[in-house]
Chain A
């Protein structure tokens, strides 16, 4: 006991550094690129921040969808592909079947939820390994999308209301960002402030113990996959809103960026735990850094190096920083 007390100031310092570390880094990135003569004018402009803020909203929603299964200790690699598929399905509903926007949104969310339910059945009910299942599902989805689109984007017949929502601003802030605030608030509330969320954390911490204190582990895990799929479906619709169409390559391409953001996010806000707020900080940290580097004239491949590198750094960090403390990230 005395030992723990003696370590307190040290531990508190460490926890504070960890909790705000990524946020401080994010501010530092903004400061550096805003003051560098080469990037300053372009980077620190309202236009650039608007582009980054609006542009990253779909990725944020998809990354949050990634976060949910990770809270119960499951990695769903198919989330980004589900978003891509939902984007195609929702856009096709408008473009090829002349359906109104509301129906298109419902279609996208339903496609996402159905794919999530399929994952959930195989993983939660049958108890199969999440990585193998979602890798297979991801590949199957890629095949279905290719079959349906021939690899060509759907760009016609998209509702103007949707594209306006994706590209215009209210009070100088991208409209789509308001939706992000809503989604983040809602998911954060469910995970952190409801008994259901606490059950998710308990399942992620120790499945057997969760079952033995009376938590319905199978149905809860199943529900998480369905929720994550539905959220990815909504994220897919946001992709269409941003780009004005549905590109079959766009969804799957977000896999690594989302993973990097989620793992980076797990080192901050609630260090050692996958958490929604951390995920959002992670997305914007990566986006701002890549934007700054691009403006500084660094070639585009750097963004891949950066996402991959960030994922590695995040995993290493959570291994060392989170060790021996409440809430260690495990995959």
Chain B
């Protein structure tokens, strides 16, 4: 432990810090978002910034970027220059070479790489106000070469692979940073929208970027990525810095506990032999959208994972089971009885529940209150004596919210005001209260902090313990290995492999996914 703890002072002595923050605080009317937080990043260093929702990391990024002011104080040091963060501005941040690339990189899909590079920067113009296209294309080619981006200036953004798009965004951010001084690049969850295979590609590029002297601050919920990419890590919790140390010697579990600030359940759960149990759901030869000839079985009380890259058809599979997509061929049996749901309504009536991937867009009623969201599936239960019983609904929803561990002052507020993890718990809780026979979840923990993630895992295992069959997809193989009894691998719409409980590991799943392509 002591061997790996970095003394910031000695680290500074070895390589002069590119950016050093000290005593950064942010107080709102009654809450303290940040309290005396410090952060030191050296040239060529990739530094992870971790924290759950509400830990203050977003606030810290906003302050450094000059979008919000530090209050009551805080300072930013570059070399021997010091700046007061109470008077910091977006412009000052820009001049200091600080650039933020957000999770949603904000690009124009139909425009070329060169045009995208000009967004927010401007084109060089000639005497008549005409865009000097050739000159800009040359500049773009230079930037692409400098950051080793595998793209050409005239390629439309939509034709690039996702990791390359993120690289273009990074190039766009750093294109005018003085090479001598190097930039500070803050990446806010850059991998959330990336398929697994793209992440390594992006990391290689980030390492080159760091090798060129830029300082990188990497924000992510994916702890395995942090360990793979970053040399040092700073953990924030409740607005305070918990630690800044080297990642060497830490594993994911250590990091998760640092972030959550409490002991978390260990990965494995008692896996019983559910394989022999009769199947609740039996799918034979299912075809729909990208899916071809998919057959699988799920037993009551079993948690089945579906692993697959974007476009593998995993979402289509769930939506087909839920009656939202009509199958082109194949049969689905529920308890041995063939079913063909023509709408989600019929599936819901048969005891099937579905947690969609996009909770904001497809699951939450933002303009309604939390209690109404929690009661969305069971509205009829509150219809009593010709009236909807709102008071009883509120009372029962408040109790449900407590059981689910949803952090909220009142159930009458909009779910939009909750953090991602609490929103997801609400969507899940809405279905759990119906005690479904089959629970389908599409990537349920994306954008959710580690604490809420553990809660969601627990809720899934509990539901399975009560006899619900659970089918869950995830981008995170570690998670699948942790929660599932069995994992089925989908590739290009076909089931190409299956990993049983005894062999379950993230490594094994990713080998199944990226393994030898099946002969066609």
Name A residues whose Cβ lies closer than 8 Å to a Cβ of B: 1-7, 192-195, 197-199, 201-202, 204-206, 208-216, 272-273, 324-328, 330
A54 to B: closest C-beta gap in Å: 31
Contact B379 A206 (CB under 8 A): no
Instruction: Say what secondary structure dominates the interface of chain B.
Output: loop
- Which of B303-311, B408-416, B461-469 is found at the contact surface with chain A? B408-416
In Å, the complex CA distance between A202 and B31 comes to 33
A152 to B: closest C-beta gap in Å: 46
B174 to A: closest C-beta gap in Å: 35
In this complex, the member of B361, B388, B417 whose beta carbon has the largest number of chain A beta carbons within 10 angstroms is B388
Contact A327 B383 (CB under 8 A): no
Instruction: Say what secondary structure dominates the interface of chain A.
Output: helix
- With A6-B30, A195-B383, A214-B345 known to touch, is A1 a contact of B413 (CB < 8 Å)? no
Q: Which residues of B contact A197 (CB under 8 A)?
A: 388
A33 to B: closest C-beta gap in Å: 36
Contact B383 A194 (CB under 8 A): yes
In this complex, the member of A197, A205, A216 whose beta carbon has the largest number of chain B beta carbons within 10 angstroms is A205
In Å, the complex CA distance between A198 and B368 comes to 10
Tell me, yes or no, whether B87 is within 8 Å of chain A by CB: no
Nearest residue (CB) in B for A330 is: B367
- With A216-B345, A326-B367, A326-B369 known to touch, is A1 a contact of B408 (CB < 8 Å)? yes
Q: Which residues of B contact A326 (CB under 8 A)?
A: 367-369, 412-414
22 of the cross-chain contacts (CB-CB < 8 Å) are A1-B408, A1-B409, A3-B29, A3-B31, A6-B30, A193-B388, A195-B379, A197-B388, A198-B379, A199-B379, A202-B365, A209-B362, A209-B364, A209-B365, A212-B324, A212-B344, A212-B354, A213-B430, A214-B347, A325-B414, A326-B413, A327-B367
Contact B409 A5 (CB under 8 A): yes
Tell me, yes or no, whether B343 is within 8 Å of chain A by CB: yes
Q: Which 3 A-B pairs have the closest CB atoms?
A: A214-B348, A6-B30, A205-B365
> Other CB < 8 Å A-B pairs besides A5-B409, A6-B29, A7-B29, 19 of them?
A3-B30, A4-B413, A192-B388, A193-B386, A195-B380, A195-B388, A197-B388, A198-B372, A198-B379, A201-B365, A202-B368, A205-B366, A209-B362, A209-B363, A209-B365, A212-B354, A213-B348, A324-B416, A327-B368
Tell me, yes or no, whether B387 is within 8 Å of chain A by CB: yes
In Å, the complex CA distance between A198 and B413 comes to 17
In Å, the complex CA distance between A175 and B29 comes to 55
Tell me, yes or no, whether B407 is within 8 Å of chain A by CB: yes
Q: Which residues of A contact B363 (CB under 8 A)?
A: 209, 212
Nearest residue (CB) in B for A3 is: B31
Q: Which residues of B contact A201 (CB under 8 A)?
A: 365, 368, 372
